[in-house]
């Protein structure tokens, strides 16, 4: 129940940010660090998502700007659930301080 409550809270924050209710400098709390990340050595801290990244994620991908993702709001709202059970966790081939999480 607590986990579902957190998923709903994040979804509500996404809706508010998408409607322009949040200050542009406020980050959205996706979730607390999921258990699988704690097992890999991460500390328990809130996982935050900036509004800049939210809007980049929602903007359609194009050849002009490949940093856009074209996600739907529904897909973004699933981030906490997907982070709790990533398909793959892998070390970054270019940075020692980065862990890559591939989500479904």
pTM score of the predicted model: 0.85
Task: Report the run of H or E that residue 87 belongs to, with start and end.
Answer: none
Q: Residue 33: which of 46, 18, 22 has the closest Cα? A: 46
Angle value at C-alpha 31, between 29 and 35, nearest 5 degrees: 155
Give mean pLDDT in consecutive 10-residue pieces for the chain, a chain of 104 residues: 89 95 92 94 94 92 83 96 95 90 92
* Residue given tokens 């940093």 in the structure block: 67
Domain boundaries, the chain: 2-102
Distance of CA 29 to the CA centre of its chain: 9
Give the span between the Cα atoms of 89 and 52, in whole angstroms: 25
Dig out the tokens for 62 from the structure. 């194009």
- The pLDDT of residue 19 is 93
């Amino acid at each position: 129940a607590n986990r579902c409550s957190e998923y709903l809270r994040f979804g509500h924050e996404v809706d508010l940010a998408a409607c322009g209710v949040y200050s542009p400098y406020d980050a959205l709390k996706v979730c607390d660090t999921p258990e699988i990340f704690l097992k890999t050595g991460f500390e328990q801290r809130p996982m935050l998502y900036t509004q800049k990244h939210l809007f980049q994620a929602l903007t359609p991908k194009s050849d002009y700007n490949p940093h856009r993702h074209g996600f739907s709001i529904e897909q973004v709202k699933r981030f906490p659930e997907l982070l709790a059970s990533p398909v793959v966790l892998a070390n970054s081939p270019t940075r020692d301080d980065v862990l890559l999480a591939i989500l479904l």
